[in-house]
Amino acid sequence: MRKAARIQKAPALTESPEIDGANSWTQLWRIHLPIAKSAVITFVLLSFMWTSSASSSAAC
């Protein structure tokens, strides 16, 4: 999932903010994370479900 989110980025998404003066932190928070938001949310939810089901089966 993470790889698919990274592949979709066009080089212009990195070049344009650099020309406008945005640093790498601003690019991450204002450009790249909103684009990858659905992949990040899916990854977090699946990770949480996997760890919670593993811990609940160990408690039985």
Q: Is the pLDDT of residue 6 over 60?
A: no
**Structural domains counted in the chain:** 1
Query: Which domain covers residue 40, as residue numbers?
Result: 2-59
Token pair for 49: 């479900």
Reported confidence tier of residue 58, pLDDT bands at 50, 70, 90: low
Looking at residue 36, its pLDDT comes to 85
Cα 20 to the center of its chain, rounded Å: 23
pLDDT per residue as tens digits for the range 11-51: 888 888 889 999 999 998 998 888 889 888 999 999 999 99
**Residues in the chain, how many?**
60
